[in-house]
Structure 1
């Protein structure tokens, strides 16, 4: 059925019956399923003027309002339309429809609705009829969105022993936001990032999230740092149906099955990082599993990394019950107990998988390197690669040389398109700041989100943005791996890169398999 006939036939059907609200709802739902793809395909075509599309959307918003008996019905119909719009976008992206056809279908629809609005056929109340179309469809903008800006928040450590992680994550996001803002923003809106310091202490995270939502009035959260803090921040966001995007953690707290609707991850998980390094140690370095221990923070971050190692052991057909765990307390460098525990192990440990932050990891290496000159140390990406290298460089070449860090972004010393773009932007907006794995991750995560905001269009709200994210496929940002989400897949990347420090404390590529 053509776009024009959709409207005319349904209008005739409605005018010939005294339909009740429930009947109207069913008809409008069917209409949304048919009209949404026309709108979506037009939105995916840059040459089609946005005011044309907006006029159709506004008229249909009135139809939805007048067909709905209550707010729940209105929300349901709006979601049906949004999903259908995304189907239309996807059809253009996948090449199932070209922009000439999309333009023709939109023109058909425009001619069909040039006369009296369908809402008048539905019989709006006198009060509703007295309200202008513009005021009804515009309504209040979602929190954190104005005609000129979109506000995002980050709760992270900007003080304390992990403060460099928060600073670098924010730096990367700001770099991406500055770059898009210089190009005019997204649909004329500037992206703005607000920060709240939780010191990497979950007891402070609730207040930091409250500051971002109530004082700073942010639209969504991006780049929060940490697993124990995420245990507080994620429920806070879910209760408010607020986007929680691109956190700097690989914990399964953010990776439920099926995924939480409002939580999206860019990075690979700790389970994937530790699996890669355990396989490297066993298959390439020829170690026995009993020769591998775990040095872990004594909280949910350490638990997540330890669980990843245990899972890797099981995948290799090895009993995971005898894995040695060496603990230290969060936000401290008190590693003496862990060192003493290491000393009593028989047979001697030959490799340590470290699930720590940079200062504690450096202190552990400092205290054990002389005792175990041939020890292999590996770290997950959360450690803070640059900060760890700086700490070890101060200790001397023998402390840095050979220390492994798994990464969830390509080498910052490399020449991939994404890395070159990041380094150029960093030099432009933050001259003097050195490229860093954490800020690169923040930059990449922010760019994934920016692409989704662009695809969603000017009528942005949380539900529409999430629907767009869930239909994002094969996104190529120049990383060497394609990114994407789905309704059952809220993690964009599963790629792990291997790196190892040389004696000058510079990272070199390391083949993990």
Structure 2
């Protein structure tokens, strides 16, 4: 009963908060004597305190369509612009609004409100925005701001009717929307990987939706949580396909989970695009028709690292070990190291593998095995997630001060650096991570476009290698959908992707697909953490 009563209280509170238009005009503006700029600014400040938390709480709920949130947020940003007499006031109001948005996001993540309440708040807000200000007719300040809101709504609406695509018979595609699904860890030890991947895709989708979508269709991403546990993946895949009726999957996270997800997608002939894994199970020869990858493979990442350790750092093969997750992810990375050894004419049979169990930081057995090795190991290629990798470094750094640590991109670069910097700069400095996207601290066109979009649609979120990968993968798919035309289905889209050549997104190399090539990029970037916890470029060749 307590939970039910809490929901009722939340719902009543949310409806009062969301119906800001008439309530604000009648209660706040009734005392306004003129339309002075200061009056309007004060009104907008109060509006920000009401609208911001609604937008933020909706952003924290994966099942609420991003274009709905974006539409409401853009209308209010237009209010800020029109009500501000100068740039300083506009920037101040924008920052205030962003803080309230962050507060709203935190209210959901901390359990203060649930997503059902957030959905009702947003619905009420949408209804209020669509019918502004009749109660304020007697006040000049009210009339001024009512006009602002009306013009803002007009400014954010299309100036001409959007092109109406022909009705599609494809699952998950309507005249107004294309639904995509993502299965990943949104709970558990690896949850930040899932959150960041979804964030990057949502950023790309928000950007294209803000420009009118693709042929008038908004792109919507629906998330399902498998906690990075294969036993939960099939249920999550079925939920998205059967209940949510998604057109395709994009950005699924993980290798052991992909071992379950890919067969399901193939059985249902559903596009499985841009998964966050470099495992070979997604890279058959010839490629599976419905599986497309953006990123380079783990074999390519580990090959680059092995060559770096042997040729640049001048280590001996017997001085290199592998610290790997004890599942298909770790197996894929270890196989990549072994393949690199063989390609260099070296014996791969004696490579030391140090294991840990998925979704744990139990690395003691691996550390104990490392300690008894003679001669001493001087470099460890890690195929791990960020917490396990950080724990392994924590327990071995003092034992082996000169140890070279490397990890593949799946680790979660930002989270690894953050975990290590909490231990101290000496734990972080020099740790190498191979990347499948350019450095997020750089100034290339692709990086700047990503960072600008992230700041616009998800203020307060820091640039991250995982979300950048999701952003790039989503943009590759968006290009395919555009080229397929308004009357597309899965088969036509795949035919289009297989003929997509020399796609230039500003990454420093072009992207290509083909009938025999379902991996767009083979590029590897080297990075290393400095004493400040920031990633710096490393030449791997």
From 148, 171, 179, the counterpart of 1:143: 171
Query: Could you tell me which residue of structure 2 aligns to residue 408 of structure 1?
Result: 436
When normalised by structure 2's length, the TM-score is 0.69
Give, in angstroms, the shift of residue 271 of structure 1: 0.2
* 2:199 corresponds to: 171
Query: How many residue pairs align between the two structures?
Result: 377
What do the CA deviations read for 1:443-468 (whole angstroms, capped 9, x no partner)?
A: 00000000000000001100000000
The 1:282/1:140 distance shift into structure 2, 3 A limit, reads closer
CA distance in 1, matches of 2:439, 2:530: 14
**Equivalences for residues 1-20 of structure 1 within 5 A:** none
User: Post-superposition shift, 1:140?
Assistant: 6.0
Structure 1 pair 407/138, CA: closer, same or farther in 2 (3 Å)?
closer
Q: Distance in 2 between matches of 1:405 and 1:179?
A: 29
Q: Partners in 1 of 2:254 and 2:372 — Cα distance?
A: 31
Large movers: runs of 4+ above 3 Å: 137-140
In 1, the alpha carbon distance for the partners of 2:308 and 2:522 equals: 17
User: 1:36-435 counterparts in 2 under 5 A?
Assistant: 141-435=169-463
Q: Would the aligned equivalents of 2:435 and 2:527 in 1 still touch at CA under 8 Å?
A: yes
Instruction: Classify 1:450/1:325 alpha carbon distance in 2 versus 1 (closer, same or farther; 3 Å).
Output: same
Measured after TM superposition, the shift of residue 141 of structure 1 is 1.5
1:471 aligns with 2:518: no
Kindly state the Cα deviation for residue 424 of structure 1 after the two structures are TM-superposed. 0.1
The answer as to whether partners of 2:168 and 2:489 remain within 8 angstroms in 1 is no
Counterparts of 2:286 and 2:169, CA distance in 1: 30
C-alpha distance in 2, partners of 1:295/1:147? 49
The superposition leaves residues 27-49 of structure 1 with CA deviations (integer Å, 9 ceiling, x where unpaired) of: xxxxxxxxxxxxxxxxxxxxxxx
Work out the CA distance in 1 between the residues paired with 2:283 and 2:294: 11
Q: Is the 8 A contact 2:168 2:175 kept in 1?
A: no
Name the SS of the counterpart of 1:160 in structure 2. coil
> Matched residues in 1 for 2:189 and 2:407: separation?
17
The alpha-carbon deviation at position 504 of structure 1 amounts to 1.1
- Cα displacement (A) at 1:304: 0.2
- What is the TM-score when the length of structure 1 is the normalising length? 0.73
Once the two structures are superposed, residues 319-377 of structure 1 have per-residue CA deviations (whole angstroms, 9 ceiling, x without a partner) of 00000000000000000000000001111000000000000000000000000000000
Displacement of 1:215 in angstroms is: 1.0
Deviation at 1:300, TM superposition (A): 0.4
1:507 and 2:525 correspond? no
Instruction: Give the structure 2 partner of residue 496 of structure 1.
Output: 524
Alignment partner of 1:499: what SS?
strand
Q: 1:458 aligns to what SS in structure 2? A: coil
Correspondent of 1:438 among 466, 472, 486 = 466
Q: Given the alignment, which residue of 482, 494, 508 partners 2:510?
A: 482
3-state SS, counterpart of residue 342 of structure 1: helix
Tell me how large the CA RMSD over aligned residues is.
0.9
- Rg larger in 1 or in 2? 1
After TM superposition, give the deviation of residue 139 of structure 1 in Å. 7.4
1:427-451 Cα deviation digits (max 9, x unpaired): 0000000000000000000000000
Q: Shift of the alpha carbon at 1:498?
A: 0.2
